[in-house]
Structure 1
Amino acid sequence: MERMEVLRLYDHHSDEVYRLAYSYLMNRHDAQDIVQEVFLRLLEKNHSIKTESEDAFLARITINCCKDLLRKNKHRQYIPLDNVDIPSKTDFQDQEEIMHALMKIAPQYRIVIYLYYYVGYRPSEMAKILKLTESGVSMRMTRARRQLKLLLGEEAFNESFL
């Protein structure tokens, strides 16, 4: 689709796309991202839309984008702020020691530890992201844990990662 046509559609329908995305996701920031995604998809693909069916076509794309986002974020856990414990000073010291140890290991090992423990990805998801096999991700996890165990010591490693 041509750029001018997409800009015209954006001017006429961006508010409707936003409202639909917001009603689906109940999150203002995600809805704004969906608006951008919808119109970027129109720019990338060669769609021909009849003027009388613009609303329905954009609604279908919006709903599909919302479903994709929800599917992508399904594995993430959200904790209400009321349930979050305020960490003590010793918690920060422990985290600082772990972060220093992480910075000492090789980047290919650091990334798998980060994606697994901090972001919450499963090895199969990490394999797709890193363009590796699952066994390659598992091997990097094993090597990273071994290096961290050496840097942190057996006891500190077990407290932090097991």
Structure 2
Amino acid sequence: MKTFIFSVVVALTSWSAPFPVSGTSMMTDPEEGRFLEPHGFRLKTTNLKWTVVPDEKASIFQTFRFAPTNGQTAQLTVRKDDLGQQKNLEVYAKKWMREYPQYGFEILTTKNMQIGGGDGLLIDLVHRGKNQQIRQLVLHKNKKVVILTCLDDISKFRSTVSDCNQMMTSFSWK
């Protein structure tokens, strides 16, 4: 019995950090996505070679940026917003989708879906002038909106989108 209890204690403490919520804690491990829970959601990068990086762009929106650890040009940004006065996700998204062509974007496809316990709208775009392809997933629940944007060069996008899809499908509302 003592051996069993000792084994359980060792197993439990092997997951813990030397100090609560320290840099080696599962609570702050970017791969687990728990550090996003205070913002109302979770996003995992487990088994992917992506990490959170500083976002150099100033924004009025709360934004998190992920990039591959191997230095590739790909990135996935996560932005929080409120639904505001719009009645639903579709009205919210159409409001700014109308502006995409003005900035050189061509919308390839859109698809409504359910993901992570809420409504979602998947948008695939291309910017031929910048040679970039983008996949956006706009998620909505309880007047909150999270926009996941995957971006890479058109020639590399096919491999990048696989990692982005894994992160996007790991999204869950808290």
Normalising to structure 1: TM-score of the pair?
0.28
Which protein has the bigger helix share? 1
**TM-score, scaled to structure 2:** 0.27
Larger radius of gyration between Structure 1 and Structure 2? 1
